[in-house]
Structure 1
């Protein structure tokens, strides 16, 4: 079926930030003598948890976690300003898709991080709106973020496509009853994507999906 609306995840789909978010958490935990295991981190993320689950398991108290969360955020913003996080072909793919569908971003990124990322990028101009973490109550893998996106568009589930790169995001889309295309990302490549309607290597492949061809 032809799609009229596309809801994009952000990190790992439109910009290559997943690795740097993990690296920032890894540094923040290393500062207090805790190692961050990547495989466990990805499993925790898929369940809607994250960096601090391993800290708690290691006996780190909430006061220290609160302090290190701020440290992690500072490290991450340093990376966002200094590292190459472009994904080749994204702007070109969005320009082509904009001829056929309306698009928006539904992200778990904090507003401040999102603004840093998009200070000098050509992605937002293609989007009708952006929903960041502060715009909804329950984060992915809960369906609320994508249900909020549907409501904002006034769109039906069957005329909408979600584009994700993680198991957590896929679970959110599936729970919301929306077909999901998972785009390859090296960092999350080992996640369980069995519930995806489509698996793609790059966003340029979305044109055929939204038009119901190919």
Structure 2
């Protein structure tokens, strides 16, 4: 019996990767650096700020990493005063509420971004928990954020669904033992499947997703 739905935020509840890419490109260009979309998809998308800063600035200090991350997130928030929920998301949330399912957001984004994004989509208060990986000992791709989400919802991994668009996120959710649905906003379906997704959809309207939910609800 389905007990819980756990959602990544960026690229899953709303398609934000291009905004994050633009924010980083703008800031790096001010330093004379160019960041390509291919580099972003391979090394940055879905990763916590600490990890992506180590990739971008391997020789800089932790304080410099934190300062860049704060500038980048502030730029992203300025670029996203409103955000559009992924197609079919509101239908899925309504179904979860009517069925009494536990629902949580599990994100590598910082708390300020999570609060901003949910408000920009009009989804403030729709989730029982908003878990921010930076507030935990380990972020995705470690399974800890999803294991913590299950614990908060008092749900079993075998009775839950996770939704993720990034490779670190899919890895984290699948290693937590959750049936993971890949959302192909930022990665190819083949890459999501290779990372551990058991189903890949373009959005939450996909008939395959609703057939899965029906099977798990019996």
Q: How does 1:31-46 map to 2 (within 5 A)?
A: 31-45=30-44
In the aligned structure 1, how far is the partner of 2:32 from the partner of 2:54? 13
**SS at 1:109 equivalent:** coil
Change (3 A) 1:177 1:46: farther
In the aligned structure 2, how far is the partner of 1:184 from the partner of 1:135? 27
Match of 1:126 in 2: 126
Aligned Cα root-mean-square deviation (Å):
2.5
Contact 2:12–2:163 under 8 Å retained in 1: yes
In the aligned structure 1, how far is the partner of 2:124 from the partner of 2:73? 23
Match of 2:180 in 1: 180
In the aligned structure 2, how far is the partner of 1:212 from the partner of 1:124? 29
Match of 2:55 in 1: 53
TM-score (norm 2): 0.83
Match of 2:98 in 1: 99
Q: Does residue 161 of structure 1 match 2:161?
A: yes
Match of 2:112 in 1: 112
Q: Give the total of aligned pairs.
A: 207
Q: Which range moves more in the overlay, 154-163 or 93-102?
A: 93-102
Shift of residue 92, structure 1, vs aligned partner: 2.5
Which runs of 5 or more structure 1 residues have no equivalent in the other structure? none
Which runs of 5 or more structure 2 residues have no equivalent in the other structure? none
Contact 1:77–1:113 under 8 Å retained in 2: yes
Q: Does residue 87 of structure 1 match 2:90?
A: no
